[in-house]
Every structure is written in structure tokens, then in C-alpha cells.
Structure 1
Amino acid sequence: MIKTAHFVTAASVAAISASAFTAQAQDSFFDRNRYVSVTERPQPEFDPVPVRLGAFEAQPRLRVGAGYRSNLFASTTDETGDSFGVIAPSVDLVSTWSRHEFGASLAAEHTEYVDTGSESATDLFARAFGGLDVTSSFGLVGAVLAEHTNEPRASVASDPAAAEPVEVDRVGGEAGINYEQGRVRLRGRLSADTYNFSDVSLNGGGTLDQDFRDRDEMTGSVRVSYAPQRDWSVFAEGSVTSRDYDAPTSPGQRTRDSEGTIVRVGTNFELPILLRGDIAVGYHQFEYDDPTAEDVSGLSVEGNANWFVTQLTTVSASASRRVIDPGIQSTAAATQTALGVNVDHELRRNWLVNAGIDFTNFDFENVDRSDDRIEFEVGSLWKFNRNASARLSYRFADQDSNVRSFTDNRVMATLILTP
């Protein structure tokens, strides 16, 4: 929920793929556009104007920022602070066709530290997505993605003894269908991703092996929704995820291959009481090929809600409980439980402020470790005109763990430029 500047993730690809299906009736039972949040409200005098390129619109953007972190390595005892600068160009391209859709995005983000050159890093991202409206009720969507990122030092997988961040390469794609007729909607997706993690040197000699994390991951999912009324719908959804890892290369390494199943029921709503959301609750089970690894099962939750308190204030909340690969050799599974709340407020037409707090618990399987993390952020955004805006933010992170506790403070100022 905390609104920090971040690189695009897989979730954004899924969201854009879903939005590619545009062939829906104007009086759809599933429209959820009655309210507009503070951050999404159109402001013609301040909103950037896309560049028209024939049947496409392009939106270039450049972020330039500077900041300071108090605990660069997320260390328990030996905290190291450093200043940094960020430069992040990007461009989004989308079609303006009345039917079908195609779009693409390119982005890069370079972070340069003043005194700690080993932490300077460049992230790269590219994606393309599209949608084909076969009929007014049925559509096909798809997306492809490639990215090169550097794993954050605060990640649960990060080793404080590593001489530099772990680099991660990911290539993936998604294909799916959307069907909507009257009160019924069907959404199906099939995605495939390949992850490759680079080995890094250790401070004091040796190499931190990351080959055990390399994997191919495939997920198939389906959601069936029914709308008794226009304000709300109920749905059932399920997914199956298969993770196929490279064969172990060292004695004693676990076979990490697994298959996970998730089944949930939920509701999607936009009510007259100024509330909109999507909440699903169910059961997950992940089974591991290694006979020494315990299977993981339990409550599965995915939900988000927005309360449009006034036209000037929006409160957002999210909750999730899922099984992840934490990226450490001693275990292939951890249950991640996350809760978050964020408030956006418009002080003036061109001056927005926000405050958010997140709580995350990581409960690791087959190993005695549990992490509790709290993150708090406050920020302010000033819109000067259509071509320039500035953001100032402060973030505090604190992790309480029986293995790795740390506290980190970060302050950052960013200038956002759009032609």
C-alpha cells in the first residue's frame, strides 16, 4: 500500500492484460467507475498530455531524484548510511483504436550511491500487451515481459554478507480470455515465467550461490463471477502453480519443485456508501517433491478496498495471505501475511499528501525463523503544470526477527518531467 517509487512488477502486467479487453456493454453489471480516487481524478490543467503518433499515444516520463538511507545493507548491528541519486526514464505506448488494443512500455532506473559503489545498480524493464475483441462478449488478451532487476537489501532472501545485490533476470508471458454476458463474467489466464538469479561474491571471500533459486514457473487461473445487482457480484476462483527448479548442484541441497493449488470465493462491489473493493477468502495447499519438506496449507486471502470519504480524501486498504518462495537455501516456503492502509488527501488542487502503514509477517517453513516488518511512509506531491511535478517522501522500516532484525530510514526528493 505504501506509495514509494518502484519498478513495474508482474502484478502490473496482469492488470494491464485484463484491461486490454474493452468490448463490454456500456451498462455492464461489472462496471466499477462511480467514484474517482484523489490520485486518479482528472485535472486537465496539470495532467500530462500524451504525444499522438498516428493511431497510438505515447507518454514519455523522466524521474530524477536524490535521497539518503540510514541502513543501506539492512544490517542488524553495523548500520551504514549513504546518499544516492536516481534517474529513471520511461515511455508508455497505447493504441487509440475503438476495438482491440495494443500497448508497450520501456523503463530503466539507475541508482547511484555516493560512497558505496557496490550498491549502485540499474534496473531494466520491457513489456508489450494486447487485446483482441472477437465479439462484443468475448475477447483474447496477452502480454510478454522481460526485466533485469537488483534484489533489495531488505528482501528476506538478501544475505548481509553479500558484496553486492543479487541480480535477477525474468522473462515471461501471459495469455487469457475474457467473457461477459449479462450477469455472468469469466476470466481465464495462463502465465509462464523463467527466473535466473546471479551468484555474488561474499565479503571475506567465497561465492554466494544463487543457482538453487533458478526456476520455471507456470500458473493457470480462472474466475467465474455472477452479479445479482449492478452494485456487487460474487465469484469463485482457482489457480494452480507449478514451480520447476534447476537440479541441485551441491550435496545437501533440497529439491525445491512444488505444485500449489488455491481455491477462493469472494465479492466485488461498489456500494452507495462510497465504498469499492474486491475481497476473496479461501484455502491454499502447496506440495513439495522433497520428502523432507512439509507441505503448506491454510487460509488464503486477497483483498483490497477503497473508501471515498470525500472528493478530497481517499482511504485504501489491502490484505493478503499467500505462500512464497523466500529465496533461502534452508527452506522453499514461507507464508506471507500482509496488511496495509493508505490515506490520500488533496490539500489544494495541485498539492496532494499521503500517509501509509504496512505490516508484513513472514512465517518460514522447516526452519526456526519468523519476521515481522512494519513500514510507514508520508509524502507530498506538488503539480507545477502539465510538464513538471515534484514529490518529497520519508519512509521508516523496522523488522523484528529472531534471525535478522533491522531499522532503516529513507528520505527522497523526486522531480517528474513529462514533455
Structure 2
Amino acid sequence: MRFGLLLRSAATIAMMTSVAPVLAQVEEKTRLEENRENDTQSSELEQVGGRVGAFRVLPRIEAGLLFDDNVYATDGGERSDTIYRVAPSLLLTADTSRYRWDVRAGVEFLEFDKFDDESRTNYGAGTTFRTEVVRDTRLSGRLSYDVDHEDRGSPNALTSNSEPVKYKTFDTGLGFERDVSRILFGVDGGYRKLNFDDVERNNGTIDNNDDRDRSLAQVGGKIGYEFSPGYDFLVRASYDSINYDEASDDLGFDRDSKGFRITGGIGFELTRLLTGEIFAGYLNRNYDDARFQTTKDAIFGAGLIWSPTELTTVRINLDRSIEETVFPGYTGYLNTSSSVRVTHELTRQLTLNGGVNYSKNKYERSIGSTAAARSDDNYGAQASLRYQLNRLLYTSAGYEWISRESNLPASDYGRNKFLITLGAQF
């Protein structure tokens, strides 16, 4: 049955119907380096690691210098700084014909040269698994706990805070898939808990973030039909509930809500050169507070993986979601995001990564709000080179450009980042 291969190749789309998209996203953190799964290295340079039972143990450590010309992501009065970064990590992976099980843990130290209050430590651990319980029946799951900091360029970041907001995320989920002839059935569920720390404002008062603490519970299902070799019709639906720990926020609004999302699309695999899915549908979010209008809209998207040559991979993603906000007078915002990422192996040791992304955040005002109509256009571009010296050592250099254009006064900013990294893997 071809469903398993197709859906794994369109993994990005599968994630779109899980907890993350319907959750009030904390922020989108752009990285100068591609994730490990995007590395296109020769087998002679592949990380070897060690063995502990059924697991391969893959330790790694990175050290680097990052230059940021607008640390606070502000419009005017930009401040630049050099950041020292050290990031050790450990991956344990067991991969057989019947199951795959990954366990990861890592920590990231970011030390700012001039602005000490921006220094932070991020860390986390988690595990994912996927197994074929019996023929054509698969079970998958995830469990993780992470401590991170809100980026200064986040849509919810306040410039009045003296330091980035620290937050904790607990996430778990379970999924089930079954192939029956040319039909695929699947169900999944998940739970995510977010907890935000209070921070001191520049004027010495405290920014209370307890009213941002929340949990999200989600259930979803999908059904697919292979109507022709290489082509599937896929329908996905999900329902979720967001519940805040406090009955109302600092301004007296109840931000609890419920929402659903349904999409239909075509999944395809064309001679393994182009795989993915295009889809369209509808989303809706209804809030408990009568002053918050129901947010609803048509959605559309795509998740494509194109391999024009054996050395080049292009990933294209497009999606739309409803996100939470902390700004008074707004219910939330409708986020439409798109990205194109390219990985090209120049030589067996040298890999080029690049990409562009664009997203539009359209804010929804609450009933009777005097807040100005707000719409943000967010642009980004990244490029990096990674050179694998040998099995143990690699180095990379990257550049990232970020820009936000908003109709809200003093909300525009531009940002340039440069990163040099030396890594060791064992």
C-alpha cells in the first residue's frame, strides 16, 4: 500500500492538522541553519555515533558567534550586539523495519556581549515513535518538555519588557492509521500546556503573564482514497479547545475558545521527483466572551517536496491558521504563511541552504474596541553554507534577513543576522 510512503513524504502537511497550527503559537523562530534531516551529506561523512542496545547514540556540540544588528526588533534606535552560542545535544535513534523511536535532549546557551539582560538558556527533551503494530496498521506518538524564550520579533513580544519572556511547553500526542485496500483511515489526539513567566518592565513594574498560561486539547481524523496510482484524495478534520488558567485576562476578557478545521485535497507522488499535497477548506474559532466575534475564513495550502536533481531538494509550504494575541482590543489574528526552502549539495562536503518566507497577520478586533485596525506583513530570507571537514567536524556560515511592515505606528522593523558555527559530532 502506497499511502504510508506518500504521507511520510508530505509530513509537513500532516503536522498542519495536529496541535501546533490550531494552538496560539508563541512565536516562529527562524534559524540560520537547516535541521539535521535537511543535511545532504555523503555516507562517508555521516555521523556514526555509538550503540546502546537497539539505539544509535548521536552526540553533537556546536559553538558559534552571532551578530544581530537590531537586538530588540525596534523601529528606529536599533541596537546591535554579538552573541556567543554553545549548544550541546544528544539524539538516540532506533530504526528498524517495524518501528522508529527517537529520543532527543539539548541545551542552548546564548550570551550577549553588551546587553546582559538578553542572555538566556533554552533546553528541552522529548521522544517520538512510529510503529507498525500489524500489517498496514500504524501507531505513532510524541512526548516533550521544552523551556524557551520569546523572540523579540514575535508578534506577541512587548517592547516595554526589560528581558525576553521565558515560557515552558509540555506536549504529548498519539495517532493511529489503518490501510484497508485503497482507503486510509486515521485518528489522532494531542494536549499541549504553555506556561509563561512574569518579567520586569523597563519602568520597574511587573508584566503579569499568568493570564497567558493556557492548555489546548485537540482531536482529529483523516480519510484518504487512492483513486489512481500516485494520486490520493485526502480529507482531514480537527476540533480543539483552548482553555486559559485564569478566568479572564488582566483587562477582564475571557479568552477561552473552541475551533474546528476541515480540509480536502489531493496528495500525489510523481516519479518520486515531486511529492506532497495541495488542499483547501474552512476554519472557525468561537470565543466564550461575547465581546469576541467568531473568527472564520476559507483556508488553502500546500506542502510540496520537489527534487529536480539528486543533489537538490526544494520544499514549498503554504498554510493559514488562527493565532492568539496578548494585545488589548484584539481577539487574535489570522496568519497566512508561505515559505520556499532549497538544499543543494555543491560537493560531497559542501552544502548550500537557502530560503524565503512571507506571512501576513490580520488582527481581528473585539466588539466595541477602539484599537486601530492592524495588519502586519512579515518577510524573511536565509542563506547558509555548511562544510563537513570529516566525520567529526563541520563548520557553517549563514545570513538571515527579517522585516516587518505594519500599519500600526512604530511596529515596523528590519533585522540582519550573521552566524558562524563550528560543530563536532561523534
Common topology (TM > 0.5): yes
3-state SS in 2 of match to 1:159: coil
Q: Sort the Cα spacing of 1:40 and 1:76 in 2 relative to 1 into closer, same or farther, 3 A.
A: closer
Distance in 2 (CA, whole Å) between partners of 1:250 and 1:399 is 27
Match of residue 420 from structure 2: 413
3-state SS in 1 of match to 2:346: strand
Match of residue 402 from structure 1: 407
Give the drift of 1:416: 2.0
Match of residue 374 from structure 1: 379
Conserved 8 A contact 2:237-2:262 = yes
What is the one-letter code of the residue matched to 1:412? L
Distance in 2 (CA, whole Å) between partners of 1:221 and 1:386 is 42
Conserved 8 A contact 1:103-1:128 = yes
Give the drift of 1:399: 0.6
Match of residue 299 from structure 1: 298
Give the drift of 1:105: 1.0
Match of residue 239 from structure 1: 238
What is the one-letter code of the residue matched to 1:414? T
Distance in 1 (CA, whole Å) between partners of 2:391 and 2:331 is 47
Distance in 1 (CA, whole Å) between partners of 2:96 and 2:4 is 22
Distance in 2 (CA, whole Å) between partners of 1:102 and 1:377 is 31
Conserved 8 A contact 2:67-2:419 = yes
Distance in 2 (CA, whole Å) between partners of 1:177 and 1:34 is 17
% identical equivalent positions? 25
Q: Which moved more, 1:224-233 or 1:107-116?
A: 224-233
Q: Does 1:28 align with 2:28?
A: no
Q: Sort the Cα spacing of 1:114 and 1:197 in 2 relative to 1 into closer, same or farther, 3 A.
A: same
Match of residue 279 from structure 1: 278
Match of residue 318 from structure 2: 319
Give the drift of 1:106: 0.7
Give the drift of 1:96: 4.2
Q: Does 1:389 align with 2:394?
A: yes
Q: Which moved more, 1:249-258 or 1:164-173?
A: 249-258
Distance in 2 (CA, whole Å) between partners of 1:414 and 1:405 is 30
Match of residue 20 from structure 2: none
What is the one-letter code of the residue matched to 1:125? G
Unaligned residue ranges in structure 2 (runs of 5+) = 11-36, 366-370
Distance in 2 (CA, whole Å) between partners of 1:71 and 1:323 is 28
3-state SS in 2 of match to 1:73: coil
Could you tell me the TM-score, scaled by structure 1's length?
A: 0.88
Structure 1 residues 258-314: Cα deviation after superposition (integer angstroms, max 9, x where no partner) = 001101001221113822112221000100011111111011234211222222332
Conserved 8 A contact 1:333-1:365 = yes
Q: Which moved more, 1:122-131 or 1:154-163?
A: 122-131
Distance in 2 (CA, whole Å) between partners of 1:96 and 1:250 is 46
Match of residue 350 from structure 2: 351
Could you tell me the TM-score, scaled by structure 2's length?
A: 0.87
3-state SS in 2 of match to 1:348: coil
Conserved 8 A contact 1:178-1:187 = yes
Give the drift of 1:381: 1.0
Q: Sort the Cα spacing of 1:101 and 1:304 in 2 relative to 1 into closer, same or farther, 3 A.
A: closer
Match of residue 262 from structure 1: 261
Give the drift of 1:246: 2.2
Match of residue 6 from structure 1: none
Structure 2 counterparts to residues 38-187 of structure 1, below 5 A:
39=38, 41=40, 43-187=42-186
What is the one-letter code of the residue matched to 1:283? Y
3-state SS in 1 of match to 2:5: coil
Give the drift of 1:205: 2.0
Structure 2 counterparts to residues 205-220 of structure 1, below 5 A:
205-220=204-219
Conserved 8 A contact 2:69-2:81 = yes
Aligned residue pairs total 391
Structure 1 residues 306-329: Cα deviation after superposition (integer angstroms, max 9, x where no partner) = 222222332221111111113334
Structure 1 residues 22-77: Cα deviation after superposition (integer angstroms, max 9, x where no partner) = xxxxx534424999xx9455621111113111211111111211110000000112
